[in-house]
Amino acid sequence: MRIKDLRVHSIAIADPPLRSSYGLHAPYALRNIVELESEDGIVGIAETYGGEGPALALRRLRRRVLGADAFRITGDLLDLAEGQGGGAERSHTMSTPGENPLDAGPRTYAALETACLDLIGRSVGVPVCDLLGGRLRAAVPFSAYAFYKHAGGGGEGADAREDKYGECLTPGSIVGQVRSMVAEYGFRDIKLKGGVLDPQEEIEAIRQLREHFGPDVPLRIDPNSAWTVETSVRVGESLRGELDGDGYLEDPAAGIDGMAAVRRKLLERGIGTPLASNVAVTSFAHLPESVRQDAVQVVLCDHHFWGGMRQVQHLGRLCQTFGMALSMHSNTHLGVSLMAMAHVAAATKNLAYACDTHYPWQTADEVIEGGRIAFEQGAIRIPDKGGLGVDLDYDQLARLKERYETIPYRRRDDEGEMRKHIDPFWRRVLPRW
Ligand code: GKR
Ligand code: MG
């Protein structure tokens, strides 16, 4: 099946002012939508990181992709999935997710692989998860993803929106935010993005979440490396009752060495809370050292930057071999990514946790036919259709492309947004506490 055309559409979607240790989300998040069209007119789609860099990297492959066989091109391009320097230097500690040039190759490859799998799946009438070896689950559970945030639902000027959560910068408002998300989507697990307020405040937020939702709802907190080893251990000690069981402590301190030190000190105190990571461990090259030091017990996969869906399956198998668990990371995304995440999660063994998703944070914009995808009791059911199971709504795509053309944003810069809107002197300092 020859590929006749590769189209890349840069879009902008309204995004609320969410906070993390990286800074502040801009009023618009950027995404790129990829279309691969075969000679017989079937179109495979994918969604990936936004802005100019990722779009250009995909367009640069045009010559290699046009005329190639959709069943073989991902084999021919496999070297891209490795990334520059084999991945050892690549991390998300200092660079905002999606903005590290060292993982540009795996990110580009992942977008093409997803579009190829969608194209192939549509052409033979088989869902992507079954092309990947067969689904292990028919529905994929996701977790509620709570964020500290300022008021508003994103957008700017005449396009500025309100959201139902308002400002959430206290433990009580975080509980309110999660209550509302759980009621609307049916999530059964909760993750709090931390690294924003004094750790004592964030400890209190987790305690109040536990108090409100009870011990059967697993909790996680992720400060994206904002804490020293000592602070991480203090938080781990304070929250041992809340995070133990099916929860985890995600990227408390920076780097494999930092995570390993936290782990050692927690174990010395008899605290077995697993440490998870999508910051210290972001490539296969990080696994040997991480395993050697027992730095991370849960690896967060994400086909968007791990080099695609098949690499995520390899990762799942490797984690199982070395006694680690697998969870799934997310960044701001729309429905094409959500479905891709659900398909790869459905076909990946050893995925023991509900996956992260930012999907509830984008309520107004969507590029797929039928609008927003519905969660069933916190899970996404794999549709009985070929490929990813969703089609593009070309009117919505045109609207979001037009918006991209009218706004100045061309890459994610959470630190710059912090300085623009919250504190003109803000810098990302690690560790902060
Ligand atoms: O959306 O601000 C955000 C998150 O901080 C995201 O960029 C992270 O990559 O959610 C992610 C994480 O688990 O670290
Ligand atoms: Mg994380």
Is 420 an annotated catalytic residue? Answer: no
Give me the mean pLDDT over the 163-176 stretch: 97
Contact assessment for residue 348 and residue 134, using Cβ atoms and an 8 Å cutoff: no
Question: Is the minimum distance from the CB of 100 to ligand 1 under 6 angstroms?
Answer: no
Alpha-carbon distance of 261 to 220, in angstroms, equals 19
- Residue 72, classified by CB atoms within 10 Å of its CB into exposed (0-12), middle (13-18) or buried (19+), is exposed
What confidence tier does 96 reach under pLDDT thresholds 50, 70, 90? confident
Alpha-carbon distance of 118 to 113, in angstroms, equals 9
CA of 193 to the centre of ligand 1 (A): 8
Question: Is the minimum distance from the CB of 278 to ligand 1 under 6 angstroms?
Answer: yes
Residue 321: what pLDDT?
A: 97
CA of 306 to the centre of ligand 2 (A): 14
Give me the mean pLDDT over the 88-107 stretch: 82
Residue 98: what pLDDT?
A: 82
Whether this model's pTM surpasses 0.75: yes
CA of 130 to the centre of ligand 2 (A): 28
Residue nearest to atom 13 of ligand 1 (CA): 329
Alpha-carbon distance of 18 to 154, in angstroms, equals 9
State the residue for tokens 């305690």.
Answer: 207
Select from 355, 307, 382, 341 the least CA-distant residue to 130.
382
CA of 354 to the centre of ligand 2 (A): 14
Residue 219: what pLDDT?
A: 98
Check pLDDT > 90 for residue 89. Answer: no
Question: Is the minimum distance from the CB of 22 to ligand 1 under 6 angstroms?
Answer: yes
Check pLDDT > 80 for residue 353. Answer: yes
For the sheet containing 43-49, what is the strand order? Answer: 3-14, 28-38, 43-49
Check pLDDT > 90 for residue 94. Answer: no
Which residues lie below 8 Å from residue 325, measured CB to CB, with a gap of 6+?
A: 274, 297, 298, 299, 319, 350, 352, 353
Q: What is the pLDDT of residues 282-335, one digit of tens each?
A: 999 999 999 999 999 999 999 999 999 999 999 999 999 999 999 999 999 999
Check pLDDT > 90 for residue 264. Answer: yes
Provide the token pair at 46: 């994918």
Question: Is the minimum distance from the CB of 193 to ligand 1 under 6 angstroms?
Answer: yes
Among the bound ligands, the one closest to the CA of 97: 1
Alpha-carbon distance of 300 to 296, in angstroms, equals 10
Residue 68: what pLDDT?
A: 98
Among the bound ligands, the one closest to the CA of 359: 1
Residue 45's beta-bridge partner residues?
35
- The 8-class DSSP code of residue 360 comes to G
Question: Is the minimum distance from the CB of 413 to ligand 1 under 6 angstroms?
Answer: no
Give me the mean pLDDT over the 146-172 stretch: 96
What confidence tier does 371 reach under pLDDT thresholds 50, 70, 90? very high
The answer as to CATH 3.30.70.100 being correct for domain 134-381 is no
Give me the mean pLDDT over the 266-286 stretch: 96
From residue 33, alpha-carbon distances to 36, 44, 215, 388 in Å are 10, 11, 40, 14
Which residues lie below 8 Å from residue 401, measured CB to CB, with a gap of 6+?
A: 9, 10, 11
CA of 308 to the centre of ligand 1 (A): 19
Among the bound ligands, the one closest to the CA of 17: 1
Which residue of 19, 224, 282, 329 sits with most ligand 1 atoms within 8 Å of its CB, as the best mutation to test the pocket? Answer: 224
Beta-carbon count within 10 A of 321 CB = 11
Q: What is the pLDDT of residues 329-352, one digit of tens each?
A: 999 999 999 999 999 999 999 998
Which residue of 49, 304, 331, 362 sits with most ligand 1 atoms within 8 Å of its CB, as the best mutation to test the pocket? Answer: 331
Give me the mean pLDDT over the 62-84 stretch: 92
Kindly name the residue from 193, 333, 343, 358 that is annotated as catalytic.
Answer: 193
Positive/negative CA dihedral, 301, 303, 307, 308: positive
Check pLDDT > 90 for residue 82. Answer: no
Torsion of CA 155, 423, 197, 24, to 10 degrees: 30
Is 401 an annotated catalytic residue? Answer: no
Domain with CATH 3.30.390.10 in the chain: 3-130+394-404
Q: What is the pLDDT of residues 211-243, one digit of tens each?
A: 999 999 999 999 999 999 999 999 999 999 999
What mean pLDDT, rounded, does the chain reach?
96
Question: Is the minimum distance from the CB of 224 to ligand 1 under 6 angstroms?
Answer: yes
Check pLDDT > 80 for residue 90. Answer: no
Beta-carbon count within 10 A of 210 CB = 18
Contact assessment for residue 131 and residue 117, using Cβ atoms and an 8 Å cutoff: yes
Domain with CATH 3.20.20.120 in the chain: 134-381
Q: What share of the chain in percent tops pLDDT 90?
A: 93
What confidence tier does 376 reach under pLDDT thresholds 50, 70, 90? very high
The answer as to CATH 3.30.390.10 being correct for domain 3-130+394-404 is yes
What interhelical angle do 199-213 and 229-238 show, nearest 10?
Answer: 20
Q: Which atom of ligand 1 is nearest to the CA of 21?
A: 5
Contact assessment for residue 384 and residue 127, using Cβ atoms and an 8 Å cutoff: yes
Beta-carbon count within 10 A of 433 CB = 19
CA of 187 to the centre of ligand 2 (A): 18
What confidence tier does 381 reach under pLDDT thresholds 50, 70, 90? very high
